[in-house]
């Protein structure tokens, strides 16, 4: 099972140090949060990307994916009625798809709850605007040979796409195979659902392209009450070949320790499944 570490967990380190640290812990890849690289991903030129690829290569680690896509630059939104905001958001989404391809990533994960809120009174219009944005991202992803994932998030974070069913409905409307969805364990639990059951129900569809593991308490896997054994067992039974990314939001006692504890726990669970 291929394990990836979300880069913002160790964002205080330089990118080269992040790669080296994650590799030494036993991670196979980094899932990169673009805001940790630049305020605007459109400012990353060929020399910048070459340096990032060199750091990955020197450490013997891959870039599995990009996530936290809409954090910066400020003011992005897939549901805004402002034409300038819409165009700028699509421009950033397309550049992120290019960046993912340039870094050798397979997947982009679009969470960003604040940047996809459906305003009261214009929910239908805002959803249509979001559909246009995701369709543009999917078209770019198809050309680049990567997969763009709409991430279901809990209703406490956003009122748009809270379940895999919500995501697959949107994906069906757009009809591009480069647009898929994923499962985040913490968000799934926050909706009162069992991530292992959700995975078991949907993996056969081919629409699940990524998995993030974390506890409903927003700490790392193994740092709360949520068992990861059923999740990993389900993935193994379905012969999962995608990435499993460690994405805590609360780092106790700190990011590096959380990263180390998480992979130790996951490797132990996986050993018990063999």
What's the CA gap between 119 and 126, in Å, rounded?
Answer: 7
Q: How high is the pLDDT of residue 263?
A: 98
∠ CA 129-131-133 to the nearest 5 degrees? 75
| pLDDT (tens digit per residue) in 71-124 | 999 999 999 999 999 999 999 999 999 999 999 999 999 999 999 999 999 999
Please give the helix or strand (H or E) that residue 31 lies within, else none: strand 29-32
* CA torsion, ordered 262, 263, 266, 271, to nearest 10 deg: -150
Average pLDDT over residues 43-71: 98
Is 168 within 8 Å of 207 (Cβ atoms)? yes
Q: How high is the pLDDT of residue 264?
A: 97
CB atoms near residue 62 (< 10 Å): 21
| pLDDT (tens digit per residue) in 227-271 | 999 999 999 999 999 999 999 999 999 999 999 999 999 999 999
Cα distances (angstroms) measured from residue 126 to each of 11, 158, 273: 33, 13, 45
The domain 2-273 belongs to what CATH superfamily?
A: Divalent-metal-dependent TIM barrel enzymes (3.20.20.150)
What's the CA gap between 105 and 6, in Å, rounded?
Answer: 13
Quick check: 274 pLDDT over 80? no
Could you tell me the residue ranges of all domains in the chain? 2-273
Residue 220: pLDDT band with limits 50, 70, 90: very high
The partner residues of 110 in beta bridges, in order of sequence, read 150
- State the chain's mean pLDDT as an integer: 97
């Amino acid at each position: 099972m291929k394990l990836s570490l979300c880069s913002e967990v160790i964002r205080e380190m330089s990118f080269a140090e992040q790669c080296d640290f994650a590799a030494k812990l036993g991670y196979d890849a980094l899932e990169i949060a673009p805001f940790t690289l630049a305020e605007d991903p459109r400012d990353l030129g060929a020399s910048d990307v070459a340096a990032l690829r060199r750091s990955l290569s020197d450490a013997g680690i891959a870039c599995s994916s990009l996530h936290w896509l809409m954090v910066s630059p400020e003011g992005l939104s897939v549901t805004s009625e402002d034409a300038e905001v819409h165009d700028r958001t699509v421009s950033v989404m397309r550049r992120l798809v290019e960046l993912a391809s340039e870094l050798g990533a397979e997947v982009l994960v679009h969470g960003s709850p604040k940047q996809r809120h459906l305003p009261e009174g214009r929910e239908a219009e805002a959803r249509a605007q979001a559909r246009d944005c995701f369709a543009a991202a999917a078209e770019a992803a198809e050309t680049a040979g990567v997969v763009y994932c709409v991430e279901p998030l809990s209703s406490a974070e956003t009122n748009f796409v809270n379940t895999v069913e919500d995501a697959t409905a949107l994906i069906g409307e757009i009809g591009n195979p480069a647009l898929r969805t994923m499962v985040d364990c913490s968000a799934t639990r926050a909706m009162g659902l069992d991530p292992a059951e959700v995975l078991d129900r949907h993996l056969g569809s081919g629409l699940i392209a990524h998995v993030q593991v974390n506890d409903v308490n927003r700490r790392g896997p193994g740092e709360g009450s949520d068992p990861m054994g059923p999740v990993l067992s389900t993935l193994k039974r379905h012969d999962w070949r995608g990435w499993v990314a460690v994405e805590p939001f609360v780092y106790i006692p700190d990011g590096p320790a959380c990263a180390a504890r998480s992979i130790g726990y996951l490797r132990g669970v996986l050993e018990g499944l063999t």
